[in-house]
Chains A and B, each alone.
Chain A
Amino acid sequence: MKKYLNIKYKKALPLLKYFSGNFHKKAFRSAAFLLCMLNILCLCSCWSQRELDKLAIVLGTGLDVGDLPDTLKLTAQIVKTSEINSGSSSKSSTNGGKAYVNISYTENSVLAAVRGITHMQNRKLYFTHNEVLILSSELAKLDLSEGLDAFTRDYEARMNVNILISKGKAAEILAEDVELEKMPALHIAGMMDNQKSNSETVVVTLRDFVIATLSKATAAVAPMIELQEADGKKHVILKDTAVFKHGMMIGTFGKTETRGLLWVTNKAGSGYITVDTQWGQVVLELLHSTSKLKPVKAKDGTIHMELTIYEDGAIQSNETTEDMSKIKNVEMLKAKMRESINSDIEYSLMQARTLSADVFGFGEAIRRDYPKEWDKMKDNWDTLFPSIELETHINVELRSTGGLIKPIVPGGEQ
């Protein structure tokens, strides 16, 4: 039998043997070996291989309205790996080299522009590490769906990329003069991480933005960024909030209104509040805040929103000569703090009503808790939203006076 089998193999017809059910050990081993070899081939993935030195790693993307009608201009900020490794920034500046290259291409769609860049560069754009997506307000006022759909749908791009709206050209934002960082995109992304310490900017990722645009009620928001020139250098500054409705930018929220918005949506972190007392200015630090928004149905069937805010604060600086650790003064400061928070919210609400944009997610909250009522309201939500009342309960605590109890310049009432 064995001999017979060997002859068979020599004639290179082992496959026939496989179908007969009884495996010869040697044949089986050779087959297993071949299989292993094949699997190794697929492990090293020579087929769709993308070597690091063939990739153009994109860290920031800007979208502008193109010069020709109906086109958009895509600007990709690409890391220059050789420069980023070249040690201190002074050394690279003596070489006159920046650690990044901005490549722009104008085409009628995002993919067309991405592929268009292959006409100019030897490397293919790689979007997995994209940190920021900047859209110019000019484009945002026209139509946003094109750019956002492409970035959400694409397998390579991630949804935790920060979204920003630039007041001028997005391409110019990506070309700012950076000093502490080597790349404008990383600078902006790092800045977005820090925004919770001022509670004056909304921080929005692509995922949050798309969730908001998917809702029939909520108006999406995104932070705005602007270029400012000082001492011959251009620096970016985060300022205001863009408000969207049906995929189009319809207006902006200023600093106060943005903070009001953050109070209502439970996104406020820390920050400061300056209050004016009869003796002078006192600065309070906001340590920790939570808020809860919920719809309440009154007896007559109308729905209004109820907002409860819990806020912890501390006295950060006392510019008066008065002793602010006195319980009487603490109560006064707390009242001023409540007032300040309340006025932020009032401003915000006023602006939202003017724009008729439900930035707070009132509609979503009603849909969640009163789905039947929402069914009646959803068709004319745009007109109903400005009439929805907001009732606020603000609970503030001043936890400490910091490292000092009394002011450094004594005086005042003893």
Chain B
Amino acid sequence: MKLEQGSISTKDLMIGIICFIQATVLRSGYIVGITRQDSWAMAVTGFLFSLPLVFIYAALLKKHPGKNLIEIDDIIFGPVLGKIISVLYLFFFASLAALNARDLGNFVADYMMPETPITVIILIFMIGCVYTLCKGIENLMHLSAILAILSIGAIVINFILVLRDIQPWFLKPLFQLEPMRYVQGTVSVVTVPMGEILAFTMLMPLLEKDTKIVKPMVLGLLFSAVTIGIVILRDIVTLGPLAEIVSLPSFESVRYVSISGILTRMESVYAVVLVILFLFKVSILLYAFALGLTEILSRNPRHSADSEGQSCKAGYFKSQKSHPPLLFICAALIYFYSLFVFESVMENVNWGATTAPFFALTFEFLLPVVSLLVAFLRGNGRAKEVQS
């Protein structure tokens, strides 16, 4: 399972980002709860405000080509402080993976298999993720094209099918809420689906052209923003004020589809797509976590091997990147983490509405900005010194 640098094309990265964000889009309820009938506009503002994040990540990666986030921390902050920062990032990745696994578990347990314990659902799900990663992260990224077609196809088909039941005036009145709500909505969109692409910085060394990352990231976000907008728009015009009170607006709006009593129960399509997308998302997060943990714990750090030249880079360490050695342990950690992360859905919703944006912004915005500043202050020469 040797992996050469450049096994993931920029196109795969773009589509991967679309799939990654799609998983959250299908659960758009938390945004509709904040900005009500204007929520579709949050897709636009969310996209605009997530651009700075992309530029920060791109600048960091451009300064250190061929390195992932954890390695960059070591270079910028030195071996000790760098490790501490890296551990913080890892905590973030692990939390996201656990939260998403829990989300999926809750969805399956609530809507489809109410008698099955959530532990079993998450266990099977995590086994699926591990199996996916065993097959190699690059294969998962290649597959993302199919997943994206599936999910976008499902969105388009569902949109056409609900057209019969839409009531466009549910969108009115436009932009009449308190301004604070729009800020809150935008921050939610920026932090929860969009900023989470921070996990992709762990994949960058595998990129074909690891310097050209701004374009695929921005395009991926743009596509995602469009689909977020369409999905929220659909939910609002079909459900109206009901969208604010149901727990999964997309699920309920698709559920209402009934074309002459034959074409009904479309929510099964939604459920299948949701499970597949969550599998993709948690796999990426699990990979980021496992790879980061491996690098923190490895006895001879990567940059010492680097001094021996590029040949080594494509050898042992690269093979680790396709399938990090600590994968099983990491998956087990995330599994147990997801079991006790929240006691109930209510707790989850409360956390999502109050704490989540600040929690996420710390890792998605604050730490990268500080890293970038320190990198600039220390300059390139100094950075190389630490490296050797």
Contact = CB atoms under 8 A, between A and B. Distances in A.
B173 A39 contact: no
A20 B128 CA distance: 20
Q: Does more than half of chain B's interface fall in helix, strand or loop, or is it mixed?
A: helix
A140 to B, nearest CB: 21
Nearest to B320: A21
Contacts of A20: 325
A19 B127 contact: no
Interface in B225-246: 239-242, 245
A48 B113 contact: yes
Interface in B81-127: 110-116, 120, 124, 127
Interface residues of A, number: 29
Interface in A207-230: 207, 210-211, 214-215
Contacts, number: 69
A214 B244 CA distance: 10
A123 interface: no
A403 B172 CA distance: 45
A32 B131 contact: yes
Contacts of B256: 158-160, 207
Interface stretch (A53-61, A103-111, A363-371, A406-414): A363-371
A310 interface: no
Nearest to B328: A18
B20 to A, nearest CB: 23
B255 A21 contact: no
Given A28-B134, A48-B116, A211 B241 contact: yes
Contacts of B328: 15, 18-19
A367 B36 CA distance: 14
A160 B127 contact: no
Contact of B172 (A21, A48, A369): A369
A21 B169 contact: no
A35 interface: yes
Interface in A116-171: 155, 158-160
Given A214-B241, A214-B245, A368-B169, A47 B1 contact: no
A155 B128 contact: no
Given A45-B113, A48-B113, A23 B172 contact: no
List the 7 closest pairs (A to B, CB-CB), nearest first.
A21-B325, A368-B172, A48-B113, A48-B115, A371-B173, A371-B176, A214-B241
Interface of B: 1, 110-116, 120, 124, 127-128, 131, 134, 169, 172-173, 176, 239-242, 245, 252, 255-256, 258, 319-320, 323, 325-326, 328-329
Interface of A: 15, 18-21, 23, 28, 32, 35, 38-39, 42, 45, 47-48, 155, 158-160, 207, 210-211, 214-215, 367-369, 371-372
10 contacts: A18-B328, A23-B1, A23-B323, A35-B131, A42-B120, A45-B116, A47-B115, A47-B120, A160-B256, A211-B239
